Chain A
Amino acid sequence: MITFSQVTKRYRGGTEALKEISFTIETGELAILSGPSGAGKTTLLKLIAAIERPTQGSVLVHGQNVGKLTRGAVPYLRRNIGMVFQEGRLLFDRNVFENVILPLRIIGMPHKEAAKRVRAALDKVGLLHREKAQPVTLSGGEQQRLAIARAIVNRPAILIADEPTGNLDPEYAAQLMDMFAAFNQVGVTLVIATHDPGLAARAASRVLHLRDGVLQA
């Protein structure tokens, strides 16, 4: 469960990205965060993962006030949240397999077990046959699926994705949304930011529409 109460985020320099936002996303929901670029979607996702902290108000994730977490506690929050970033954030100095195993290395999982999990995650996104490939050799859609595999390999309770279909053609984008819907079927809470209204209408059980940092009714 994710709860925002009266959350305002003001960046240094005075820009207000979010203004007194309040909402709740229940466990197991698939929520779409829609709205034009600059509406504050990315900021909202960053607040969930404690990448940014709210200026005012509170952000609760599974009952934990993530805005007040100590520096040492933040990593443990993030281990429970899978993230797919707008820019992909893949590591291009290592192959597909090594990219996906990184979250498991971080939690110190023994290699044998981790390797099994990595292959399962790659299988889910349809990249199992490319585990030895270098990320640069993958297409845009494949890179995005690789990022998703890395986000789910640790079996997080929450998955957040920022414009995951941003640079993909519509057919590919639809495939990706089906994949997200499948994760949601097995109980993962999803929050997906997108500026594509078509996608928003398609899969979501819940749509949060942002405009200029304000939640629209």
Chain B
Amino acid sequence: MRSLIAQHRAAIVLTVNRMLATPFATLLTVLVIGIALSLPLCLYLVVDNLGRIAANAQGQPEISVFLKDNANAATQHDIEAKLKAHPEVKSYRFVPRDAALKTLSKNMGLTDAAAVLGKNPLPDAFVVTANNADPDALDQLRKDMQAWPGVQIAKLDSEWVRRLNAFLRLGKDGVLLLAVLLGFALAAVGFNTIRLQVLAQRDEVEVSRLLGATDAFIRRPYLYLGMLQGLLGGLGAWLIVASAFALINLRVAEIANLYNLNFLLQGLSWRDGLVVLGLAGALGWLGAYLAANQHLRGSGAAH
């Protein structure tokens, strides 16, 4: 047991020394891994932040209930009573057609829209806020109100949120696909650098085998090398993403200020960062394992 720990320690020392012996090559490899990892990470964070925006917007979904043109005060009171009684309705306000026209005129910059249009084309309306933001519950409430007599149409104002969510799901799938592809690339980079290492040291590998070294003994320093490269690459990616988001957030803060919003992009969380490190290390290890094994099984001289 002690000798095994000593062997691992010796392998780690050897690995670190080898990396330090060729600092430039090591740096380049780590940089390639870091950049390859930072691309899907950035995309992931962008999608994640858009998701947070959408979730905020979804907080108060409203349903507009437009009354029929011929609806009279009695119908209006009737609907109001039903709204009061409905358990899913949190609050509501009445928007008379004249007020709606005034708002429209103001928003469109017209002094007197009614004068242009001849008569007011807008209906009376209730704007209803629901208790439950769940899309299905909202749709059920909308259908209920649609069925009431005197209601022309009930319309969900948060339709765009659902569309955005659909796009976000697409984005998440894209991130996943990209991450898988770049994961392969990472393992390939690990494979290739370790293969070159093994080739450069094939005398040592060959002699070690003749002196009775097991495959595990020969593989060990290469596995550490692959894992260490992966870990350093993951750390590099973390650094790249953190600096990029810090930089972008300066601008975001400026823009948010102009719109009177308090909003900043969320960077990589500690948990996600550690997951990235773990994955990068594991992929580096895998690439090294494949490369070392290919050499050990492939060379015919001494098996």
Contacts and interface: CB of A to CB of B under 8 A. Distances in A.
A13 interface: no
A72 B214 contact: yes
Given A89-B207, A91-B203, A110 B212 contact: no
Interface in B210-238: 210-215, 217
B203 A108 contact: no
B15 to A, nearest CB: 14
Given A51-B302, A108-B7, A110-B6, A89 B210 contact: yes
Interface residues of A, number: 27
A48 B203 CA distance: 22
A119 to B, nearest CB: 19
Nearest to B200: A93
A76 B6 CA distance: 19
Interface in A68-87: 71-72, 74-80, 83, 85
The interface centre, meaning the residue of A103, A106, A110, A150 with most chain B CB atoms within 10 A of its CB, is: A106
A102 interface: yes
A105 B207 contact: no
Contact of B212 (A75, A89, A93, A109): A75
Contact of B208 (A74, A106, A110, A154): A106
Nearest to A77: B212
Contacts of B69: none
The interface centre, meaning the residue of B2, B3, B206, B214 with most chain A CB atoms within 10 A of its CB, is: B214
Nearest to A103: B211
A77 B214 CA distance: 11
Interface residues of B, number: 22
Nearest to B303: A71
A83 B10 CA distance: 25
A49 interface: yes
A182 interface: no
B207 A102 contact: yes
A83 B210 contact: yes
Contact of B211 (A71, A78, A93, A110): A78
A75 B209 contact: yes
Given A51-B301, A91-B204, A102-B207, A108 B4 contact: yes
Interface in A11-59: 49, 51
A188 to B, nearest CB: 16
Nearest to B217: A106
Contact of A105 (B10, B209, B215): B10
Given A75-B213, A154-B212, 6 more contacts: A71-B303, A75-B214, A76-B212, A106-B208, A106-B212, A108-B3
